[in-house]
């Protein structure tokens, strides 16, 4: 079983990996999608997680794998129907993740009205950093998200641009799923997503929170 790690040394077995799509307006525009009224939710299995220094393996059924750098939230306290004003009390830590998406596969499945888990949940599809304790982050809506590929900046945005805040996401998610310690929430990606290929080196960073380096096999 995969684990999430706090920088204090505490570990949590990974439970659900709950992800938000279309949470930054510029990213919605770059993909030509409609802005949703409610958060768009999808899931990744725990087996999709890899860690610092490990390798992304793009499945043979895809020719277009995109990077999406995101603020990751580690849940530390169980909750159901959590009021928005209490939501951040359930956070154990913050980190950075890369939501890898097989854009060609996702596009074809969406055209057919079919689920697109195979575009989001394949093995190695969720590179994940360690987490700093929640108390180390004064405001999760004032964080910079940056991703480079081979040293070239591809994404550089701020969590202040989220359509749905971290607290709102946790509250909304908990109305659908009971949140449990070890659950991880990915909060959406800013603009700048693009394709990666074999040999690429990716670095996702949220300054003051986490840095994550992985490569593509």
Residue 124 binned pLDDT confidence (cut-offs 50, 70, 90): very high
pLDDT above 90 as % of the chain: 89
Q: How many residues does the chain have?
A: 217
In contact, 24 and 35? CB cutoff 8 Å: no
Selection from 203, 71, 75 nearest residue 147 by Cα = 203
pLDDT tens digits, residue range 69-95? 999 999 999 999 999 999 999 999 999
Question: CB under 8 Å to 207, separation ≥6 — which residues?
Answer: 143, 144, 146
- Given a cut of 70, whether residue 21 has pLDDT beyond it is yes
pLDDT at 158: 95
Rounded-to-integer distance, Cα 94 and Cα 72, Å: 6
pLDDT at 89: 98
Rounded-to-integer distance, Cα 206 and Cα 133, Å: 14
Question: Which residue range forms the structural domain that includes residue 202?
Answer: 3-216
Strands (E), the chain: 3-5, 11-13, 17-21, 40-44, 49-50, 55-56, 65-66, 69-75, 91-98, 101-102, 126-127, 132-133, 144-149, 152-158, 184-186, 195-196, 201-206, 210-216
Rounded-to-integer distance, Cα 189 and Cα 97, Å: 10
Average model confidence (pLDDT) across the chain:
95
Rounded-to-integer distance, Cα 131 and Cα 87, Å: 18
The CATH number linked to 93 is: 3.90.850.10
pTM score of the predicted model: 0.95
pLDDT tens digits, residue range 168-179? 999 999 999 999
Domain count, the chain: 1
């Amino acid at each position: 079983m995969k684990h999430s790690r706090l920088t204090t040394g505490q570990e949590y077995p990974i439970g659900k990996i709950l992800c938000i799509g279309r949470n930054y307006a510029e990213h919605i525009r770059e993909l030509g999608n409609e802005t949703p009224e409610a958060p768009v939710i999808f899931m990744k299995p725990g087996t999709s997680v890899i860690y610092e220094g490990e390798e992304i393996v793009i499945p043979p059924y895809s020719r277009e794998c995109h990077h999406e750098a995101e603020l990751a939230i580690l849940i530390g306290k169980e909750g159901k129907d959590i009021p928005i004003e209490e939501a951040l009390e359930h956070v154990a830590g913050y980190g950075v993740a890369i939501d890898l998406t097989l854009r060609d596969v996702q596009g074809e499945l969406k055209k057919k009205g079919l689920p697109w888990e195979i575009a989001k949940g394949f093995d190695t599809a969720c590179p994940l950093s360690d987490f700093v304790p929640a108390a180390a982050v004064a405001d999760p809506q004032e964080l910079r998200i940056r991703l480079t590929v081979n040293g070239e900046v591809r994404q550089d945005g701020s969590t202040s641009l989220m359509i749905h805040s971290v607290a709102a996401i946790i509250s909304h998610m908990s109305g659908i799923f009971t949140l449990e310690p070890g659950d991880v929430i990915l909060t959406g990606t800013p603009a700048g997503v693009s394709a990666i290929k074999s040999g690429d080196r990716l670095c996702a960073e949220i300054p003051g929170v986490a840095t994550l380096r992985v490569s593509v096999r």
